[in-house]
Amino acid sequence: MDSTFVKFASPALVALAISAAPAAALEQNCRFIQAKADREACYKQQEEELAARRKPAAPADKSSTLQSLQQMRQDDDAVYRSISNICRGC
């Protein structure tokens, strides 16, 4: 092989390896653990971390939710009033 090819290909391969998904990297680390109990503990920890990442964000304050619901109700009331003022069948 040409030495210039190796010089340019190596950084590209390193960049590709670094950009790989972190979850896949963690899984590979667990896969190579020899002791079964340690390997299973590693997989369990990965599952917990993945579940924590997938967990929805904490709900907003109840007071802010209540305020937004009240604002929506006021907007709805305004729309209903404007609709009732429309002449039907005139």
| Cβ neighbours for 26, distance < 8 A, ≥ 6 positions apart | 46, 49
**pLDDT for 27:** 57
Sign (positive/negative) of CA torsion 17, 18, 21, 25?
positive
**pLDDT for 12:** 53
pLDDT higher than 90, residue 9: no
Kindly list the domain boundaries of the chain, sorted by start residue: 3-84
**pLDDT for 82:** 84
- Dump pLDDT digits (tens) for 15-73: 545 444 555 555 568 888 889 999 999 999 999 999 888 887 766 677 788 888 999 99
